[in-house]
Amino acid sequence: MKVKVIVFGLGKFGAQIGKTLAERRVSVLGVDRERKIIEGELKDILASTQCLDCSTEEGLEGVDLENTDVAVVAIGEDYEASTKITAFLKEKKHHNENMKNMKIIARAGDPAQARVLQELGPTRIVRVEEDAGTYVANLILSTGSRYIYIGSNGDSCKIKAENKKIVGKTLDELNFEKKFKVYIYRIVGKDGKEKALVPPADYKAEKGDILEMLGKSEDVNKLKKKFTDEITI
């Protein structure tokens, strides 16, 4: 299943998020009120773009939120617009069954704005500078919306669900993140087709599933020793 992400605000921060995700073949809808931004280089990079003033309810209603996995409010200085968009997304998520699993990541420009956003209850609030767009892109792609920093000492492996050690258990029950400090970022079915990118914690492993994960080399090696028979790569 392909992940759908919407980025509100395509300044340097939002643009970097969009570019990084697009490089990883994530479907990104970029929204900005500045037409010159919408018609610039991002038009050919992102899956789609919309020129809308999302500081108004009319503008927000023009955004297609159906089946969105992650919504990023990347607006920096316009606190009012950022707050309105976050509140709007939260309301839609609450009342629309198709959006109940949507994650909302909101950017806060300072501690005061962070406190206001906290009251609205987004999935996560980030306070970052312009060059941290890549950080949020990795956060979106990581299990449970947590940021994974692997650095140059990274490794990956694949585990096949074949027995009761894995089959029938949720990712939360397996808890590889806490036990081994490795992160499941994708699940492929026994037919070779992708079943989940950024799988949720309640995903229950089925026989034949391939769990793809990454982490630091030493942590991946610990996992391999524990699941010797299940390792495929």
d(CA 18, CA 7): 7
pLDDT-derived band of residue 143, with 50, 70 and 90 as boundaries?
very low
Written as six digits, the tokens of 50 are 């919309």
Q: Are 2 and 30 in contact (CB under 8 A)?
A: no
pLDDT exceeds cutoff 70 at 152: no
How much is the pLDDT for 173?
93
The dihedral sign for the CA sequence 169, 170, 172, 178: positive
Q: What is the mean pLDDT of the chain?
A: 83
pLDDT exceeds cutoff 60 at 2: yes
Contacts of 129 (CB under 8 A, 6+ apart): 13
* From the candidate CATH numbers 3.40.50.1100, 3.40.50.360, 1.25.60.10, 3.40.50.720, the one assigned to the domain spanning 4-141: 3.40.50.720
Domain covering 154-226: architecture = 2-Layer Sandwich (3.30)
Q: List the chain domain ranges.
A: 4-141, 154-226
**pLDDT tens string 160-196:** 999 889 999 999 999 998 898 888 878 899 998 888 8
Question: b vs e for 161-183, b when ≥16 Cβ sit within 10 Å of the residue's Cβ?
Answer: beeeebeeeebeebebbeebebb
Angle, CA of 139, 92 and 39, to the nearest 5°? 65
The dihedral sign for the CA sequence 59, 61, 67, 71: positive
How much is the pLDDT for 77?
77
How much is the pLDDT for 96?
86
